[in-house]
Amino acid sequence: MNAVILSGLLGVVMLFASFLFQTKEPVRITAIAGTLLLLIANVLESKGIHFFSINTSGFLNFGYYSLFFNSIAIFATLIFFLISSKDMQKVGGHYAEYFALIFFILTGIFLVTSFTNLLMLFIGIEIISIPLYILTGAAKKDLKSNEAALKYFLMGSFSTGIMLMGITLIYGATGTFDIDKMNLVALEKSHLITAGLFMLLFSMCFKVSIAPFHFWTPDVYDGAPNVFTSFMATIVKVGIFIGFIHLFNTAFDKVTIQWKVWMAVMAALTLFIGNITAVFQQSVKRMLAYSSISQAGFMLFALVAMNATSYEGLIIYSLAYCLATIGVFGVISKMTDYSFEGFNGLAKHQPLVALCVTICMLSLAGIPLSAGFLAKFYMLKALIETGGYLWLVIFGVIMAAVSAYYYFRLIQAMYFKEGPNNFTQIAAGEKYVLVAICILIVFVGVFPNIIFNWLYF
Amino acid sequence: MIALLLILVPLLSGLATFLLKKEEQVRTWSLLAAIITFIIAILGVAVYNAPACWTFKAQWMGLLNSSFSLKGDGMGILLCMLTAFSYPIIFLATWTTAYKKANNFFGLMLLTQAGMMGVFLAMDALLFYFFWELALIPIYFICSQWGGEKRIAVTFKFFVYTFLGSLLMLIGILYVYSKTAGNSFDITAFYTATLSPKEQAWLFWLFFVAFAVKMPIFPFHTWQPDTYQQAPTAGTMVLSALMVKMGVMGLLRWLLPVLPVASYSWGDTVSTMAVIGIVYASLIAMQQDDMKRLVAYSSIAHIGLMCVAVFAEDKSSIEGVLIQMFSHGINILGMWIVVEIIERKFGTTKISALGGIAQKAPALTFFFIIIAFANIALPLTNAFIGEFMMFNGILGSKVTQYGIPLMATAGLGVILGAVYTLKMGRRVFFGTTNALTEKGTDIAFHEKAILTIIIVTILVIGIYPQPLLNSVEEISQSILKHSDVLYLLKKH
């Protein structure tokens, strides 16, 4: 509860910050300090210290797992602020409001990861979505950004409608919104349940950009300002994934309706479309948009497998994927030309930055000694333990090999090709953050036990 | 402790190399590191050769039941020796080759060494996988940054092949892991995993593809000639002398004992592929006009023979493979050194552009001829022992009915090997000199010294192979015990 209320309050504080402060520096410092506070409050809550005691009437349940994930989400946001908050100035004049919106999104994420009531899930998703529509269109004078926002809004509200319809149907069949109490197994013959389940499945898939509901993703990620793409492709996406697995594990795991097969097919389709399309991209930003689709396909393995390993796996996947993607976007925001050619020869002009991007890319590709390897490893392990989806496992690794093509293309551009310097200034602090990200990626890759010790003990 | 040091010394010195600035410093430092590693390996064989010195175990990923477990068995020690021995030679042989950003080059070389040592010593499947990839990444950068004109595309092909292979192996590892008692990545748990013959049948290919790409076995070899040609020679030396052994070792340690039934039932298929590869590669080698490509194809043929011998599962053939792994490493290293010297002196490796080098460089010619004899496994050279034992084992194999045809076809490869190796020698070193080779000079002192070390090793092993044979006896019996299908059938 600490984090939900605090982040809501911080959002309001940031709204007023634009009146209070004349310059941008204090705004940024307030936001970063606020995030740090949020992180501390959330960690304290997971250790049993509650600042607020509010009766949620069983609508929300802050279990250790969701709190732990929330800590990761806040931590990732902190890193995101540290590396990208300066670049937010380039987007437009409403600097403080952007922070406010991001805090509101965080509130939504906390609701989505801890809901026990379908209404809370819906409200959480809406709290995430609406600020995201605004952030996507934040570059008001940029036509692409406007187009992306409109597209996102239309498609997003349509899918939210479907989700609401699904919730209603399930309510109609069971008479409750509470996913713990709905006892679907007894009622599963009802067509309402089947229809409701698939509506929920498809709308959740839309939110995390699973094919064939992914069409909005490349355009929106490409059109949105770089900094916000970084945020929505990482923290928002993995947050909704946690809600996704929570919903399907608690409510639908025991029903005999074959949704897992659908999910497996969609995972395969997502991997295929995401990876194959990413191969043909000329812009690194667009490549990352497709790569985020394919990574979502891998994360979907956790839902197909649905066992203890999937939960562990999603945690480590979230961390690995967020760190690497935020790192790369942090660099992209500082490039004047973010096509692959723009990165040519970066290793010569900015050796340290190039090294960091390389480590992030290796992590995304899933090379051992990086967190990304363990993330993929856990997904494969989960699926193999479940048994019966070996075809998906093999297809997954073939697609992982394809993904190496476009990740390494960036490495090749930076190291083995010559080109002019397209890199604008990077502040020393941001450089340290970038290095810290890489150290963390390698550290988690070598000693994943640290993470799991926190999770379990 | 020895086992850990063999990984740590190259790893840490490699990381330190990145920080050095001057090229001279870098070279000396990395040569020093390589020599220290070699001394440690020698000490490990000669002085601290108790099993306890070669064992190291530490907690790593407790929740996954994976530990940082290293152990030098006969095969591991032999291959570590080969790696430790080769590195100073490689550094010395390419002493005068200039590299841009030498610190990165030598740093990556040492990291590769650390990775390979880890592969040879890891006794935990996950750790093995980690090192397997750790060895790949630095060599990928070495070949793409310092190679020839087409290096980027060629090296990337190599990378994707190996990466896909190792990912498939990862599935295999995970599957076996899920079938072990109490879910453990430890090698003994892998050896006792309960896998039905049907499961083994498909698991076999997941593992085999990874190893076959590395070795390489026909038809997974297409990356190899291009990569060998385009890579900087030091990189090629590492690839051909050491890295291919990772594949052979994988077969012996992680395939035969883990999936004995499948190794038995797929053995003939794989041997057939390997034999096709031997003849095919030998025929292509005869047509090559480029020394690098010729040596590359000859390597495919040699490795193919090892693969046939592995799946013959006979005591003599397995011992032969183990010895041949060492000998092949030495011989091909010698070959590459000669090729590199010629390339540096004359700026080309085209056989048709060279000729009559013997008149200008008699010492080089002398060394080349000995190495060439070793390459075609003439008696009194090291390769003879290994090849003889392998053929003996293939012929007497109890697991295949096709011992004679396999041996005959593989034997054809040996004859063809003599043809192309000697033909290359004749056309490059003898005959009349041309405008290019007219200006040739003989090799310098340090090159003579290195090549002397190589041929002394060749001859010593060729004449007195007993210590080597003793060192591999125990491990080959252990491999055979674990992979003995008849024994396993009786047990169940």
Q: Name the 3-class secondary structure at A447.
A: coil
In a shared domain, residues A100 and A234:
yes
For B414-482, the three-class secondary structure string (H helix, E strand, C coil) is HHHHHHHHHHHHHHHHCCCCCHHHHCCCCCCHHHHHHHHHHHHHHHHHHHCCHHHHHHHHHHHHHHHHH
Q: Name every residue whose Cβ is closer than 8 Å to that of residue A11 and which is 6 or more positions away in sequence.
A: A100, A101, A103, A104, A107
**What span, in angstroms and rounded, lies between the C-alpha atoms of A285 and A331?**
11
Side chain identity at residue A14, one-letter code = M
What is the ipTM for the molecules in this complex?
A: 0.89
**What span, in angstroms and rounded, lies between the C-alpha atoms of B100 and B202?**
46
For chain A, what is the domain count? 2
E strands, A9-106, in order: none
Q: Name residues 380-439 of chain A within 8 A of B (Cβ).
A: 380-381, 384-385, 390, 393-394, 397-398, 400-401, 404-405, 408, 412, 415-416
Q: Are strands B66-71 and B55-61 parallel, antiparallel or unpaired?
A: antiparallel
Contacts of A385 in chain B (CB under 8 A): 178
Count the neighbouring beta carbons within 10 Å of the beta carbon of residue A457: 5
| Tens-place pLDDT, residues B39-97 | 999 998 888 878 888 888 888 877 788 888 888 888 889 999 999 999 999 988 888 87
What six digits make up the tokens of A149? 């926002």
Provide the 8-state DSSP code for B70: E
CA distances from A202 to A249, A251, A255, B44 (A): 16, 16, 17, 61
- State chain A's maximal CA–CA distance in angstroms: 66
Q: Where among A237, A255, A273 does a domain terminate?
A: A255
Q: Name residues 105-124 of chain A within 8 A of B (Cβ).
A: none
CA distances from A228 to A220, B292, B331 (A): 10, 51, 58
The Cβ-side half-sphere exposure at B344, using a 13 Å CA radius, reads 20
In a shared domain, residues A273 and A243:
no
Question: Which range marks the domain in which residue A139 is found?
Answer: 1-255
In a shared domain, residues A337 and A446:
yes
In a shared domain, residues A172 and A299:
no
Q: Name every residue whose Cβ is closer than 8 Å to that of residue A359 and which is 6 or more positions away in sequence.
A: A370, A438, A441, A442
**Residue segments in chain B with a per-residue pLDDT below the cut of 70:** 486-492
Contacts 24+ apart (CB under 8 A), A271-278: A271/A297, A271/A298, A271/A395, A271/A396, A271/A399, A272/A211, A272/A395, A272/A399, A273/A211, A273/A212, A273/A214, A274/A211, A274/A214, A275/A399, A275/A402, A275/A403, A275/A406, A276/A402, A277/A218, A278/A403, A278/A406
Q: Do B159 and A405 touch (CB under 8 A)?
A: no
In a shared domain, residues A414 and A315:
yes
- Percent with pLDDT over 90 in chain A: 54
Put simply, whether B205 touches A (Cβ < 8 Å) is no
- Residue to mutate among A363, A378, A384, with most B CBs inside 10 A, is A384
In a shared domain, residues A370 and A223:
no
pLDDT for the residue numbered B488: 62
Provide the 8-state DSSP code for A84: H
Q: Name the 3-class secondary structure at A153.
A: helix
Q: Do B160 and A384 touch (CB under 8 A)?
A: no
- Residue to mutate among B101, B126, B167, with most A CBs inside 10 A, is B167
Q: Name residues 173-202 of chain B within 8 A of A (Cβ).
A: 174-175, 177-178
**What span, in angstroms and rounded, lies between the C-alpha atoms of A452 and B65?**
13
In a shared domain, residues A141 and A103:
yes
For B379-409, the three-class secondary structure string (H helix, E strand, C coil) is CCCHHHHHHHHHHHHHHCCCCCCCHHHHHHH
| Tens-place pLDDT, residues A274-299 | 999 999 999 999 999 999 999 999 99
In a shared domain, residues A314 and A215:
no
pLDDT for the residue numbered A457: 67
Q: Do B160 and A400 touch (CB under 8 A)?
A: no
Count the neighbouring beta carbons within 10 Å of the beta carbon of residue A232: 22
- Mean pLDDT for A173-182 is 85
**What span, in angstroms and rounded, lies between the C-alpha atoms of A123 and A121?**
6
Residue B297 · residue B226 · CB < 8 Å: no
pLDDT for the residue numbered B487: 61
In a shared domain, residues A250 and A265:
no
Q: Where among A238, A255, A272 does a domain terminate?
A: A255
CB pairs under 8 A between A and B: 65
Q: Where among A212, A238, A255 does a domain terminate?
A: A255
Contacts of A456 in chain B (CB under 8 A): 63
Q: Which of A369, A380, A401 sits opposite B174 (nearest CB)?
A: A380
Residue B76 · residue B472 · CB < 8 Å: no
pLDDT for the residue numbered A158: 92
Q: Give the dihedral of Cα atoms B40, B45, B46, B48; nearest 10 deg.
A: 70
| Tens-place pLDDT, residues A112-148 | 999 999 999 999 999 999 999 999 999 888 899 999 9
CA-closest candidate to residue A206, choices A129, A130, A320, A279? A129
Q: Do B145 and A394 touch (CB under 8 A)?
A: no
In a shared domain, residues A194 and A331:
no
**Full-model pTM:** 0.91
**What span, in angstroms and rounded, lies between the C-alpha atoms of B145 and B190?**
38
**What span, in angstroms and rounded, lies between the C-alpha atoms of A289 and A311?**
25
Put simply, whether B108 touches A (Cβ < 8 Å) is no
Contacts of B137 in chain A (CB under 8 A): 362, 367
pLDDT for the residue numbered A151: 93
In a shared domain, residues A131 and A266:
no
| Tens-place pLDDT, residues B112-168 | 999 999 999 999 999 999 999 888 889 999 888 887 788 888 888 888 888 899 899
In a shared domain, residues A109 and A205:
yes
Residue of B nearest to A368 (CA): B130
Contacts of B176 in chain A (CB under 8 A): none
Band of residue A79 on the pLDDT scale cut at 50, 70, 90: very high
Provide the 8-state DSSP code for B241: I
Put simply, whether B134 touches A (Cβ < 8 Å) is yes
Q: Which of A367, A397, A401 sits opposite B160 (nearest CB)?
A: A401
